[in-house]
Structure 1
């Protein structure tokens, strides 16, 4: 999914985060994570990494890779429920979660490691959301919830994003009566109500 040819072996690709395999069509498997099928009901993903006895940062990260998938023609909503034990430092260099809801999966997703991220909600452009967690010190717990929803009509998305980019609006309404607020500091959307 969006890799580029490896200059040392053109039969293989260099993959973006959240993807693996010769052609970037597989979920990375570092011994942790799984593929999860989203339904129309909220489901919870709880990921625990690390060990309280680890006081000094490890040399390498412990990582988990999840793919949340839904039926073709649907989109996925992901909400951060809580981030416990995460080290809230610039760059999330010790612990964190990355949620890739971008249309262009080559781009880095939204990364968080501060408990204040709880409540942030993201909506995918496609029916797959790679989620990566990492830890190299102490113990961290990431709790997310997710479900699949009907897509927003493309012409509505384009018009909303154009108006957001021009600064003509700071929020938009979906086809359902849900209000989404655009946060310019994180380039993400927050849901104004808990119902989707």
Structure 2
């Protein structure tokens, strides 16, 4: 590992032409998410949006990319990449940000499930699937003589063979429980009903924090039901990837993939519907405030509806934001403005990170308004 050259870079996997594997972490590359990104390259991971199945999950807006940078969005074929059967993860630390290599500050990558747009480009560090893929590639499980059962996509810990490595939001010996929280009281099950219920978490600013503060809840519904979550308000640190203060909701049945994240001021409530009957909700904060107000209820799963309930199509089985639809106008100015929350530019092939601030918001007035409108007896105030 070296910092003698400019930029943050590494070859993908072992380069047999070199006597040593060079991993350069230049000035400005010290953030853990960036260094782990380059280390993952050295261990063999390509960029996530280079996967051969990416067109099922994201759309590349070529009109916003200079031709000289088309190479950076090239797809790696099946013969040269093994996904080990893992799902595409928009929250991977190997995924480009929405505005990567943009010539005008607009989005160059748009999620086809639009609720996942703000999950893209996080710098917190490797996602669950990033680490799982590396463990699978290097066959770390062979360290364990006996196997144990792990559920919800967890896998046996290669250095502590009696426990499982669980996806975020899940915990316990076999990943059947809820991930422990910090503080511990901010944790539990929220039982959904047919009537909407309101829930608020307010993690106050702290001058001193020992590690990351995290609240973990599971919204539960009866078997055969789907959960509707309406995110009414969020106060967080508005950055691409929402990897600092904010909320994450796992709406897919596959709980190994990173969920839908929100960390920016909402122009209007956002409504999502789950694939199954469990939705892990994770609220994360450092020293700054994280405030989330949401409503939740359940509805019948389309497969369980009678014909009189209306038309049911296969598209109804996917998580979605009910008020938003992605169509052929994805390159429009409206979409550009909606997701232009915190533009970061990557200059040249070697990574140089720049930051453009968002429009100033009177945070104090906004917080007062939110607390007056939404705080109630069901709130968690910590």
Cα deviation for residue 48 of structure 1 reads: 0.9
Partner SS for 1:153? helix
Equivalent in 160, 163, 167 of residue 12 of structure 1: 163
Cα deviation for residue 157 of structure 1 reads: 5.0
Alignment correspondent of 1:193:
none
Return the index of the structure with the highest Cα Rg: 2
Alignment correspondent of 1:111:
261
Greater Cα shift, 5-14 or 62-71: 5-14
Cα deviation for residue 93 of structure 1 reads: 3.2
Equivalent in 7, 25, 42 of residue 176 of structure 2: 25
Which has the larger strand fraction?
A: 1
Cα deviation for residue 117 of structure 1 reads: 6.5
Q: 1:23 to 1:112 in 2, by over 3 A?
A: same
Kindly indicate whether the alpha-carbon contact (under 8 Å) linking 2:198 and 2:295 is maintained by their aligned counterparts in 1. Answer: yes
Partner SS for 1:81? strand
Output the TM-score relative to the length of structure 2: 0.40
Kindly indicate whether the alpha-carbon contact (under 8 Å) linking 2:154 and 2:164 is maintained by their aligned counterparts in 1. Answer: yes
Alignment correspondent of 1:42:
196
Which has the larger helix fraction?
A: 2
Alignment correspondent of 1:69:
220
CA distance in 2, matches of 1:49, 1:140: 5
Q: Deviations over 1:126-158 (max 9, x none)?
A: 11100000111232210010001101228x453
Alignment correspondent of 1:82:
233
Alignment correspondent of 1:98:
248
Kindly indicate whether the alpha-carbon contact (under 8 Å) linking 1:83 and 1:117 is maintained by their aligned counterparts in 2. Answer: no
Equivalent in 283, 299, 302 of residue 149 of structure 1: 299
Q: 1:126 to 1:117 in 2, by over 3 A?
A: farther
Q: Give runs of aligned pairs for residues 153-168 of structure 1, distance below 5 A.
A: 153=303, 156-158=312-314, 160=315
RMSD value over aligned CA atoms? 2.8
Alignment correspondent of 1:189:
none
> Please, which runs of 5 or more residues in structure 1 have no aligned partner?
165-170, 172-178, 187-196
CA distance in 1, matches of 2:323, 2:301: 14
Kindly indicate whether the alpha-carbon contact (under 8 Å) linking 2:302 and 2:316 is maintained by their aligned counterparts in 1. Answer: no
Output the TM-score relative to the length of structure 1: 0.75
CA distance in 1, matches of 2:159, 2:313: 40
Figure out how many residues of one structure are paired with residues of the other and give that number. Answer: 167
> Please, which runs of 5 or more residues in structure 2 have no aligned partner?
1-151, 305-311, 336-382
Q: 1:87 to 1:6 in 2, by over 3 A?
A: same
CA distance in 2, matches of 1:74, 1:110: 20
Larger RCO (CA within 8 A; separation ≥ 6) = 1
CA distance in 2, matches of 1:157, 1:67: 28
CA distance in 1, matches of 2:267, 2:180: 26
Kindly indicate whether the alpha-carbon contact (under 8 Å) linking 1:70 and 1:127 is maintained by their aligned counterparts in 2. Answer: yes
Equivalent in 114, 117, 121 of residue 271 of structure 2: 121
Cα deviation for residue 181 of structure 1 reads: 3.8
Alignment correspondent of 1:182:
325
